[in-house]
Structure 1
Amino acid sequence: CRKDYEEDNEFLELMDGFIIINPLQEDVVKKYSSIFRLIELPIINTIYKKEYREKDSLDIIWQGLFNNKKYIEKLEPIIERLAKQCNYRIKLVYNTNCVPLKDDGIIRFIPWKMSAWQKILAQSDIGVTIKDFSDKWEKRKPSTKVLSYMAAGLPVICTPTEADKMVIKHGETGYFAYTEKDWYKYLKMLIENPKLREKIGKAGREYAVNNFSVEKIGRKYIDFFDELRKDNPVVSVIMPTYNRPKMLRRAIKSVMDQTYKNFELLVVNDGGEDVKYIIKEFNCNAIKYFYKKNGGLSSALNYGLDRAKGKYIAYLDDDDYWLPHHLKILVNFLDNNHEVGLVYAQTRRIDLDGNIIKRKSCKPYDKYYLENIDNQMTTCSVMHRKNDLRFEDIKTHMDWIMWAKLSKKGVKIAHLDKISSVYVRHKNAMLTKDHKDSKEKARKIIKRL
């Protein structure tokens, strides 16, 4: 949640949830959503490990931009005073995005260079950061700078933000300095005591590496997104299955490979062989597995609908599969077209050997055609807003009846001519008498709607 975003109410109102990097941002985001999580930025400077050794000069380092030079200017007289009192040659090393104001032996300027900066940090002795809390934005800054010092093994002195207070333990991994007297006291302590510098520096590095590595912070993101999918999924994907374990594995993988991740997957086993072992292979909290007594496809679909938490519903039979962008394009469309209640994309039809039967098998939406002649969309291509309707108890074509119900109720239907799903046609599946009888039964049901 950046500074320019915090003041953009229209932008914030579009968000479903937030990741914040400073506790003070909570007051901003909770006005717009109850879904937020504080996740710190990760440290990246762990390549160089500091060596603590005797030396006759000390480098006190400050990272900052040219427009923040006013802060470091407050420390200059204190550093100059200490340089005259101590037996060490003391240098204040700083980087900016502009030329240095001076370079007189005490104040030394180093231009920013990422490839060298980690090494420079590790070769320094004390890290400092100073702020002016009369500036509202300064209070909200993350602890990035402090953590980079700690990760480099430097003892830290800082005017702490709320985020800094969460990562520094005063007197153990660094010091908080609010006044000129504080700065003089803690700088003098660290300058005169090499063992204290080493003790504080090592404790800080251990804490930073153990809690703020890329792996640790990445895990926090994954856990947060898993919780969102589990407790507040945007999309509920309903997948009925019956004795097709090999195909089921492919179908589930296609859902897991979606670029859009805020979903729950409800796998409903309609009394077939137990496939819990396949579910466990994916090790994902977003997948919910249900085993029920055999009742047919409509029964399995309705079982999933009764347990769906998402505001959008999508379907995928265990023998079909999605392309990675499927959920993303449909969610984006419904999010941006509130008048539309159902949207379907284009489907490629293949046979069991993977040969293409029809590159595009869905027809553009036509209200009269759907309500009177035939289905225009495959189940795997559809996403609709959650409602109270349920599938008719019929062997096949229950999806056609459902879409026709929605159409006759005045629900606006839209079609995206972009292939995002693959429908697998089984040999002679549409030539059986049961299939033809069921289609005719569906047509009669639709006429009575």
Structure 2
Amino acid sequence: MEITIKEPLVSVIIPTFNRKGPLCELVESLSRQTFQDFEVIIVNDQGESVDYVTELYPELKINITTPHQKLHHVGCRNEGLTHANGELIMLCDDDDFIVPDHLENMVKELADTDFVFTDVEMVEFKEKNNLRYATSRTLFSYEFDEELIRKFNTYVSSGSVYKKLIHELIGNFDEKLHNYWDWDFILRVMESGVKVKKRPVASAIYAFTSDSGQLSSQLNERRGSYLQKLSEKHQLGVLPQENFWTMMESPFVKRKRSESQVVWDGLPVKYRET
């Protein structure tokens, strides 16, 4: 008798590097999902072993892969794609997490579209007793507007879900753009003509530091080169390399803010411990 093995519907791709606590929070949030037809692909970018995750969450289908050389975060996402068995892809950073009904609702949205992303809460955390507690919460919610997204990236990749076939149309993530891979990705998705939808619910929690714009001059120069490459690739014109929070307060960007539903209860994600 021939046995057919059912592949999971969704492949969750997580690049990681030495973030044990936040990674466990993310996996814990996956274990709480009301929709469980998924696999978890963790790409360990030459960091300390993360095999403990499979021991802590044996009920989840988890595939951990460690490349032979350091790939950095964009390369790790491409590596994850090579291991993905699902028809759908969900992207997650290893220090973010999602609320329990996030995946269920995102999959429902894909009944009439090809790519869906969600609003997020940008959260600053303080760690205490191996748990992260929110010290500030900022809603990040903007109109899905082509004019806006060509000037300011309103797409947060964590929690976004889309049909894997899209990569057959546009290729993999562009590793040459490094910091701006996500902006390039959403622009290429939009340019490909596939259907894109934004869900006006902040069901993904995005770890963010308000002083992250204070970069060294060397790092600023490097980021500037990536931004120029992005602009040339998509003919975006001159893009300002400003502090992210300053850009959010610019008149043009502020006019594009949209209403959204805040759903996270604000409680720390208590995960299983070894």
| Category of TM-score, reference length = shorter chain | 0.7 to 0.9
The 2-side partners of 1:315 and 1:430 are apart by 24
Pairing 1:364-443 to 2, within 5 Å after superposition: 364-370=143-149, 372-387=150-165, 388=168, 389-393=171-175, 394-426=177-209, 428-432=211-215, 433=220, 434-443=222-231
Aligned-residue CA RMSD (Å): 2.0
Residue 314 (structure 1) aligned to one of 86, 90, 113? 90
Identity value in percent: 24
Q: TM-score, normalised by structure 1?
A: 0.46
What is the Cα deviation at residue 285 of structure 1? 4.6
Unaligned runs of 5+ in 2: 127-133, 237-274
Residue 355 (structure 1) aligned to one of 120, 129, 135? 135
Pairing 1:43-122 to 2, within 5 Å after superposition: none
Q: TM-score, normalised by structure 2?
A: 0.73
The 1-side partners of 2:233 and 2:55 are apart by 40
8 A Cα contact 1:362 1:378, kept in partner: no
What is the Cα deviation at residue 301 of structure 1? 0.3
The higher-RCO structure (CA 8 Å, 6+ apart) is 2
Higher helix share: 1
What is the Cα deviation at residue 437 of structure 1? 4.3
8 A Cα contact 1:342 1:412, kept in partner: yes
- Secondary structure, aligned partner of 2:40: strand
Q: Look up the equivalent residue of 1:244 and give its one-letter code.
A: R
Unaligned runs of 5+ in 1: 1-33, 36-226
Residue 66 (structure 2) aligned to one of 291, 301, 321? 291
Matched with 1:444 is 232
Shift in CA distance, 446/357, structure 1 to aligned 2, threshold 3 Å: farther
8 A Cα contact 2:117 2:155, kept in partner: yes
What is the Cα deviation at residue 257 of structure 1? 1.0
- Secondary structure, aligned partner of 1:402: helix
What is the Cα deviation at residue 254 of structure 1? 0.9
Instruction: Tell me if 1:329 matches 2:111.
Output: no
The 2-side partners of 1:445 and 1:236 are apart by 29
- Secondary structure, aligned partner of 1:273: coil
Tell me which structure has the larger Cα radius of gyration: 1
What is the Cα deviation at residue 412 of structure 1? 1.6
Pairing 1:6-405 to 2, within 5 Å after superposition: 231-292=6-67, 293-335=69-111, 337=112, 340-353=113-126, 354-359=134-139, 361-370=140-149, 372-387=150-165, 388=168, 389-393=171-175, 394-405=177-188
8 A Cα contact 1:315 1:382, kept in partner: yes
8 A Cα contact 2:13 2:89, kept in partner: yes
8 A Cα contact 1:240 1:297, kept in partner: yes
What is the Cα deviation at residue 320 of structure 1? 0.5
- Secondary structure, aligned partner of 2:89: strand
